[in-house]
A and B are shown apart, each in its own frame.
Chain A
Amino acid sequence: MLSTTGHKFEFRLVTRMRVIGICAVFLAAVVTAMVMAILWGPTEINLTQALWGTTSPNFDRIVLVQERIPRVVLAASVGASLSVVGTAFQALMQNPLADPFILGTSGGAALGATILLSMGLSSTVIAGVWIPLLPFGAFGGAVLSLLIVYGLSVGYGRLSAYRILLIGVVFNFFASAVIMFLKMAVQSTKAQEMLLWLMGSLSLDRITWTELGISWGITLFGTIFLFFCGRELNVVSLGDEGATNLGVDLERIRRRIFVVSSILVGAAVSITGLLGFIGLIVPHALRLVFGSDHRLLIPLSALAGAGFLVICDFLARWMFPWLLTEAPVGLITAFVGGPTFVWLLLRDKTLTRGSNA
């Protein structure tokens, strides 16, 4: 612990107290946003009725427990996953334009999902139990694409940031070509279903608490894992030589982060589809305000991403009366995130004047 009395610091350290302090403020904001998003919505709910009402069927309770809470809880976990992975991939690729979908994961997940959708296998009932197949298809696609991209990247010896990036991008192009083909080949109702999935949405007909639990478990594990990679992520920003000189085994750290991140993205997209933008702008916005230290950025990304997606989903639900259909939350993240991001970018004079970063 540092005593801050009677000593003028030339710069700020990343101490345990500072990280905990900032995270606590963010956590409070996220919890507030979640509570707000649970209590308010286009459908009014009577909280007393929902909690203690005895009428049957209790519509307030159904809306609260089966609609609002799962949806908000899911939004928080998916938002956190995507932002954390965005931060980690940006550091790993040494490229501020990297996002969670850059390494072929999105293409793979989309391919897995569209193949199932085109075959009409989005869910099945085995022994009277309803089993959603789509998440498995998407997750399988994501993990498979990870293995392919990773395998090709290390195929010729060293794992280099450029090679992963290029192979990931090419893989995404290839996957989207296959998806286009599938879209053309199937009936228009199925094509519509695919399009909705690709846009990303949190409006799920049925989401089980098991799925929510798995999603949260993966998010928490991944975030904590990447948080403890904070020092290495900082060093990776120095580039291959610089990192090696500081004793960091770059290939090992890349491999670890790659695997954990892909599981995070796979789990996130398997439930919600491709929610773009969030994994790019949340890390960036945080970098502009809190600097580049990943020991602070990783936990903050998780919290800010969770809050951001909860709020975007809240807005998406409020747009229901106007559009008479639910706006895909992916659109809202882009609508809200884009201008906010530009504002942050212009506000920071040093950055716009500075270099490419």
Chain B
Amino acid sequence: MRPAPPIILESLKVSGGYNAESPVCHDIDLVCASGDFIAVLGPNGGGKTTLLKLLIGHLTPFSGEVLLNRVRLQTWKKTEKAKIIAVVSQHSDIAFPFTIAEVVMLGRTPHRRRSLFDNAADYDIVVSAMKEMDVLHLANKTFHECSGGERKRAIIARALAQQPRILLLDEPAAGLDLRHQVALYEKLATLSYTDRLATIVISHDPWLPTQACSWALLVKDGRIEAQGSPTRVLTKERLEELYGVTMFEAKADTPSGATIAVPLLRHPTERHPTERL
């Protein structure tokens, strides 16, 4: 089979937000092509989710352009766009007691506009997406019966069932236990590496995304502070500056022996150096 032509999503000097007088994001330059795995990191309220909304066309930029395959995103037909871009929003609720299987099946919608019913191919795609996200055993439970983490995994499974070329996830690990967080990022790294899925993950928590991603982007106050390969971008100093906490460097006990910066809690009995007389 011939490999599918690469997909490219880019933002050129994009500024945007909810109010033209005070844009949330300023001059965002970003390129995400097939096989890229970008982690967008930064503190709460720094404009990460707004950036995502600009990238998927929920918000129209005040200035600059978002292009999908060199065509302005706003000119894409919604159904065609949904065949290429899948989004996992931060919060998702559903008004009626749909089962997990039905929720994941909704991911087939953009591909099945012409026919009203499900077929065997849909079934196979949905089952494999549910296996990937470890929710197959919940298939017949309703969405409301499941825990927050299980719901989140079902929503990610839905995005996978959409068979996108670009996957954008907003805080996908929030609410997941450590095992599923690790499994999720391993899965995303695999999809990006072997299936050439273009992936953008938004996270306030840098530790797992930076291990999985190929490109890190630090966003603060709506501007890109730095971008580059994760090891170069996420230095101890930069993280301290970005999040305003004290870090210390730890050497991972792995064959690669990567150095990562870890936040350090101050013990209540310990006084901060500046508090000394």
Contacts and interface: CB of A to CB of B under 8 A. Distances in A.
B243 interface: no
B102 A245 contact: no
Contacts of B95: 91, 94-96, 237-239, 357
A10 B136 contact: yes
Contact of A292 (B56, B86, B96): B96
A2 B86 CA distance: 28
Contact of A246 (B80, B99, B110, B123): B110
Contacts of B105: 13
B34 to A, nearest CB: 20
Contact of B109 (A10, A247, A287): A247
B160 to A, nearest CB: 13
Interface stretch (A123-131, A226-234, A302-310): A226-234
A244 B162 contact: no
B139 A241 contact: no
Contact of B119 (A2, A291, A292): A2
Interface in A131-163: none
Given A231-B112, A354-B145, A246 B117 contact: no
Interface string A176-201: 00000000000000000000000000
A11 interface: yes
A244 B110 CA distance: 11
| Interface size of A as a range | 35 or more
A355 interface: yes
Contact of B145 (A13, A247, A350): A350
Given A14-B117, A19-B117, A357-B144, A247 B96 contact: no
A77 to B, nearest CB: 24
Interface in B40-94: 56, 58, 78-83, 85-87, 89, 92-94
B123 A9 contact: yes
A242 B88 CA distance: 9
B18 interface: no
Contact of B102 (A239, A287, A293): A293
Interface string A282-302: 000001000111010000000
Interface string B92-114: 11111111011001110110110
A91 to B, nearest CB: 8
B246 interface: no
A16 interface: yes
B81 A11 contact: no
Interface string A112-128: 00000000000000000
A244 B102 contact: no
Interface in B102-155: 102, 105-107, 109-110, 112-113, 116-120, 122-123, 127, 130, 136, 139-140, 142, 144-145
Nearest to B122: A13
A238 B94 contact: yes
Nearest to B56: A245
B107 A241 contact: no
B109 A246 contact: yes
Contacts of B116: 16, 227-228, 230-231, 295
14 contacts: A10-B140, A13-B122, A94-B95, A227-B116, A239-B93, A241-B58, A245-B56, A245-B87, A246-B82, A246-B107, A247-B81, A247-B82, A248-B78, A350-B142
Report, nearest first, the 3 A-B pairs whose CB atoms are least far apart: A247-B82, A11-B101, A94-B95
